[in-house]
Amino acid sequence: MSHLRFVVVDLETTGNSPQKGDRIIQASFVMVEDGKIMDQYTTFINPGFEIPVFIQELTGITNEMVTAAPSFIEVAPKFLQLLENAVFVAHNVPFDFTFLQDEFERVGFPAIHNDTVDTVELAKIMFPTADSYKLSDLTEHFEFPHDRPHQADSDAYVTAKLLLLMIEEMDALPVVTLEKLLNFSYHLKSDIFKLFQLKLAEKERKVEHLSADLEIYQGIALRKKQIKKREYSINPPFFPLEREEKKRLLQQLKDYEERDSQIRMMDLVNESFHLATHGVIEAGTGIGKTLAYLLPALYFSKEKKTTIMISTYTTVLQEQLLQKELKQLQTIIPFPFQVAVLKGRSHYIDLRKFEKSLHELGNYDTIMAKMQILVWLTQTVTGDVDELHLSSGGEHYWHQIKQKESYLNKSHLFREEKDFYRCSRLQAEEADVVITNHSLLVLDLCSEKQLLPPYEYVIIDEAHQFDRTVRDYIGLTFEEHYFKRIYQRLGLYEQNKLLFQCEKLLKKYGEKPNVPIYIVNEKMTQLGFECEELFIFAQAFLKKFSVTKGPASRIVQLRLTDQERKHRNWKQVQYTAERVFQMMKDIWMEMDDRLVRLKKHEKKCTVDDQLRIEQLFSAMKEWKELSESIRNILIQPNQDEVYWMEGDIRSLSNTFKIISQPIESGTFLKNRLYPNKTVIFTSATLTVNHSFQYFVQNIGLQGLSYKTDTFCSPYDYKEHCRLYIPNDVPEVNQVSLSEYVEVLANHLISIAEATKGRMLILFTSYEMLKNTYHLMNDSGMLEDFVLLAQGITSGSKYRLTKNFQKFEKAILFGTNSFWEGVDIRGEDLSCLVMVRLPFTSPNEPYLAAKTEQLQRVGKSSFFAYSLPQAVLRFKQGFGRLIRSADDRGIIIVFDRRIMTSSYGKMFLKSIPEVPIHHSSLDEMIVDIEKWL
């Protein structure tokens, strides 16, 4: 890089728009040459007016600091001198470069025309697996000293360090990777191609010594994969039964604290495995649940030479198990063990498709994703997309290159030993412990083909989610946009898509199908018209008879019962669906005939032809599944299923779907999971009022042999937590939504001021969340606070949570997914608010069907299902506050039913014992301020 001089620039400004009068208040320039930081120039700038309070808080730059500073016109000549003949580098170049350019023009200086390098853009390429590309997150990850974020001198300096690190990372890339990156880099937004040009020229002047862990295959650099074989010992280890033995083992762990409940849970898991008895274990927050089941599982696996399957709720939790707890255990367990993570096929890259896609450009997001993947392939041994940080456009590209079930034999461009999915399967077969997720576990139970390696013992973590996962995966969904996507993939003959390409291949290999193409094309044309009618009739039916999910809600739902299906308007839907199903069935048979004929020629097929055949097979597989969904949902419904239609009323054609789910999943599990398997269910929330009855019935364990136990959290809730229930808020059902929200917002403003923010507010209704947020935001009373709201403030649940933790005074508004899986420790969260008890709406289709089923056998649906479900959700919400032994904080429940109703005690009895204060807002505020 000796031919380039870089100037790394960072600006602090009063806002985002110089055209609207925003100005620079601090600028810093770091000079980089010959791979070193040579010098740095920083100055405050007087903007000519007071700095907004928010900017002062964010940057720490006050009005006093800029009072004696020069104006921009005074420092502009110095800035131009520094930038002369340099590459302009910034973390988000479009902002700093454009702002500086506008300022130069404003004071009469010429515009700057430097080449630019955006370190955000470059970081996405060089660090494709980073969690975030924010400067503060990257500097934290790489442990750069960054003591004053949002001040220009500190930000510019760490950006320069980041640039040098990324240039250094380029040295590790093979020439073949750099060549491909260079070809794509000409189409980026900043002039990164100059870096790749120079780095490639440097590498080509030397003989390349490829790293020992890399290989070049079909022009792509890959990290070598190696299947680690399972090790068996002549004398297998036995689980330490005595408490002192376990203590000696666990004391080797860093920061180990002895927990009686953790040791007792280990014994129960070990006993369940040895007696082949199912187990249901509630393990409170902080007992070390994961280690409590992993330790006995590893010993049992080695002793019996068998595989233990561990299923978590999400793929994120799979990675957490592997990277945290299992790495800890590897340091203390006195024998080697193999662990494998196994996910669904679509998580893995298909190298054939990726290699072929490199010959095309695509849009910006696609180009960026290809560059990220080229770098990632030199690092990954899994080929699992969850490692990657792709944009939404990049995720769309991933769908083109992900693994799908193969139709042809593996005589392809990439040999089997290079195939990531196959390698993950082989590694799983050699593993003592396989970590999978609920979705893949259920899919394996449903599938005719075995997706998981053979297993007899399984631990299901986050078990409170398992019943829902089973229902989702046994159920069916018929979506308009999904149908249109598959229909368009096949296309009409004249559209040159898969139908046309299939016919070309048949001619090429001299095959004549049973039904000529013009007949298939006519059926496809007619099918298009029939489907348009089907969606028009179905959506008209939904609009006419639906109920909204809440006041002014955008989502409408309609449960399809026998009564709805007898309506004359429904007959139009059903008759059209019958015609659509028959046409789809005919087309599938005619296309299947074509696939069978093409398969005969696979050995002489070119790579391109093989990929076309695979694409056609994949499309027709989805086609057949979709046609069966239409038959089972619209034509031949099952009495044991619940059916409903739903969509967003503002954009029905893009969101319309019809869903079916079994009313209960227990029978499926009794038939598919429990025979010949020992299953241990565990979660922090399985009991209601100290009873497992609700969970056991839902999961189909009644009548089978199983053991249950509850291991309470070791945290001192009495000392560290207080529960407040205001007695001066109206009953939510006795006033209008607007009245309730107004009272709620006023109370929350007072509480926020008393707690200094650090508040998570949980809602059961998005409508109420939105209205409360806007009232609080517009009140003008929380100007010092940052308000973050799900669905309003941009960002995922993870990003909102991270941002919440960054600000000293912050309030986070969440619904649905925020009731669980949010882990905010220490002083970052000191106040948790639950606006309503988390009951599901009685109009929700699944609940309505479950209610009818329970009523038919003489049970109260409220006490048998609705109440237990709400209690478990409440427990999940309660668990967001105290996440470690040192945490302390308050919980406020605004729903007075917890005190006034006969069932309210069940909520209170299901959580740890805490001091309860039932008082007015004024009394509550005094007590909160005193206690916090």
Which tokens in the block code for residue 298?
A: 């590893």
Q: Report the percent of the chain where pLDDT is more than 70.
A: 98
| CATH 3.40.50.300 corresponds to the domain 717-931 | yes
Q: Which residues pair with 917 in a beta bridge?
A: 724
Question: Closest Cα partner for 897 from 889, 887, 907?
Answer: 907
Question: Closest Cα partner for 694 from 864, 874, 566, 814?
Answer: 864
User: What is the average per-residue pLDDT within 467-482?
Assistant: 93
Residue 39 main-chain phi, psi, to 5 deg: -165, 165
Question: Residues 805, 797: contact at Cβ < 8 Å?
Answer: no
Which tokens in the block code for residue 39?
A: 């010098």
Spatial CB neighbours of 595, under 8 Å, sequence gap ≥ 6: 407, 613, 616, 617, 620
Residue 384 main-chain phi, psi, to 5 deg: -95, 125
Is it the case that residue 547 has pLDDT exceeding 70? no
Question: Residues 470, 665: contact at Cβ < 8 Å?
Answer: yes
Question: Residues 809, 757: contact at Cβ < 8 Å?
Answer: yes
pLDDT at residue 449, as a whole number: 85
Estimate to the nearest angstrom the gap between the alpha carbon of 131 and the chain centroid: 12
Spatial CB neighbours of 91, under 8 Å, sequence gap ≥ 6: 10, 118, 119, 120, 135, 155, 159, 162
pLDDT tier, 410 (very low <50, low <70, confident <90, very high otherwise): low
Whole-angstrom distance, CA of residue 425 vs CA of residue 739? 57
> Can you spell out the DSSP letters for 856-882?
HTT--HIIIIIHHHHHHHHHHHHTTT-
pLDDT at residue 553, as a whole number: 59
H-run or E-run covering 198:
helix 193-204
Which tokens in the block code for residue 367?
A: 């180009």
pLDDT tier, 398 (very low <50, low <70, confident <90, very high otherwise): very high
Is it the case that residue 554 has pLDDT exceeding 80? no
pLDDT at residue 1, as a whole number: 54
- The per-residue pLDDT for range 762-775, each reduced to its tens digit, is 999 888 999 999 99
Question: Residues 174, 214: contact at Cβ < 8 Å?
Answer: yes
CATH 3.40.50.300 residue ranges for the chain: 717-931
Is it the case that residue 843 has pLDDT exceeding 90? no
Which tokens in the block code for residue 907?
A: 């909520």
pLDDT at residue 551, as a whole number: 39
Whole-angstrom distance, CA of residue 166 vs CA of residue 71? 35
Rg of the chain's alpha carbons, rounded to an integer?
A: 31
Whole-angstrom distance, CA of residue 664 vs CA of residue 439? 17
More confident residue, 886 or 97: 97
pLDDT tier, 256 (very low <50, low <70, confident <90, very high otherwise): confident
Q: Which residues pair with 658 in a beta bridge?
A: 478, 645
User: What is the average per-residue pLDDT within 266-270?
Assistant: 96
Is it the case that residue 505 has pLDDT exceeding 80? yes
Burial class (CB in 10 A: 0-12, 13-18, 19+), 512: exposed
| CATH 3.40.50.1980 corresponds to the domain 6-209 | no
Residue 928 main-chain phi, psi, to 5 deg: -60, -45
Is it the case that residue 932 has pLDDT exceeding 80? no
pLDDT at residue 852, as a whole number: 93
Question: Closest Cα partner for 537 from 476, 593, 477, 579?
Answer: 579
- Mean per-residue pLDDT over the chain, rounded: 91
Dihedral sign for Cα 445, 447, 452, 454, please: positive
pLDDT tier, 236 (very low <50, low <70, confident <90, very high otherwise): confident
pLDDT tier, 231 (very low <50, low <70, confident <90, very high otherwise): confident
- The per-residue pLDDT for range 587-616, each reduced to its tens digit, is 999 999 999 999 999 888 888 888 889 889
Annotated binding site: 283-290
Whole-angstrom distance, CA of residue 44 vs CA of residue 61? 9
CB atoms within 10 A of CB 451: 16
CATH 3.30.420.10 residue ranges for the chain: 6-209
pLDDT at residue 550, as a whole number: 43
Strand duo 476-479 + 657-662: pairing: antiparallel
Whole-angstrom distance, CA of residue 321 vs CA of residue 435? 8
* Half-sphere exposure (Cβ direction) of 592: Cα atoms closer than 13 Å: 10
Estimate to the nearest angstrom the gap between the alpha carbon of 753 and the chain centroid: 33
CB atoms within 10 A of CB 583: 18
- The per-residue pLDDT for range 98-131, each reduced to its tens digit, is 999 999 999 999 889 999 999 999 999 999 999 8
Whole-angstrom distance, CA of residue 903 vs CA of residue 147? 52
Is it the case that residue 821 has pLDDT exceeding 90? no
User: What is the average per-residue pLDDT within 911-924?
Assistant: 92
Question: Closest Cα partner for 177 from 374, 355, 370?
Answer: 374
pLDDT tier, 413 (very low <50, low <70, confident <90, very high otherwise): very low
Is it the case that residue 571 has pLDDT exceeding 60? yes
More confident residue, 803 or 436: 436
- The per-residue pLDDT for range 326-375, each reduced to its tens digit, is 888 988 999 999 999 999 889 999 998 899 899 988 999 999 999 999 99
Question: Residues 200, 167: contact at Cβ < 8 Å?
Answer: no
Is it the case that residue 412 has pLDDT exceeding 70? no
Whole-angstrom distance, CA of residue 303 vs CA of residue 238? 6
Whole-angstrom distance, CA of residue 340 vs CA of residue 338? 7
Question: Residues 519, 499: contact at Cβ < 8 Å?
Answer: no
Tracing tokens 């939510």 back to the chain, one arrives at 732
Angle between helices 568-599 and 607-630 (to 10 degrees): 150
Whole-angstrom distance, CA of residue 472 vs CA of residue 662? 9
pLDDT at residue 2, as a whole number: 58
> Can you spell out the DSSP letters for 756-779?
TS-EEEEES-HHHHHHHHHHHHHT
H-run or E-run covering 166:
helix 152-171
Q: What does each C-alpha distance from 653 to 133, 480, 519, 795 come to in angstroms?
A: 35, 7, 29, 25
For the chain, the maximum distance between any two Cα atoms, rounded to a whole number of angstroms, is: 88
Identity (one letter) of the amino acid at 323?
A: Q
pLDDT at residue 653, as a whole number: 83
Q: What does each C-alpha distance from 328 to 102, 310, 325, 478 come to in angstroms?
A: 54, 17, 5, 45
Spatial CB neighbours of 625, under 8 Å, sequence gap ≥ 6: none
Annotated binding site for ATP: 283-290
Estimate to the nearest angstrom the gap between the alpha carbon of 666 and the chain centroid: 28
Question: Closest Cα partner for 503 from 612, 621, 620?
Answer: 612
Spatial CB neighbours of 310, under 8 Å, sequence gap ≥ 6: 293, 294, 297, 321, 433, 434, 435, 436, 458, 459, 461
Is it the case that residue 11 has pLDDT exceeding 80? yes
Is it the case that residue 845 has pLDDT exceeding 90? yes
More confident residue, 733 or 30: 30
Is it the case that residue 240 has pLDDT exceeding 70? yes
Is it the case that residue 930 has pLDDT exceeding 70? yes
> Can you spell out the DSSP letters for 634-700?
IIS--TTEEEEEEEETTSHHHH-EEEEEES--HHHHHHHTSTT-EEEEEES---BTTB-HHHHHHTT
Whole-angstrom distance, CA of residue 104 vs CA of residue 61? 23
User: What is the average per-residue pLDDT within 247-258?
Assistant: 88
User: What is the average per-residue pLDDT within 687-708?
Assistant: 94
Is the pTM higher than 0.85? The answer reads: yes
Question: Residues 30, 96: contact at Cβ < 8 Å?
Answer: no
Residue 68 main-chain phi, psi, to 5 deg: -90, 5
Q: Which residues pair with 216 in a beta bridge?
A: 221
pLDDT tier, 805 (very low <50, low <70, confident <90, very high otherwise): confident
Ranges 151-165, 179-193, 727-741: which has the least confidence: 727-741
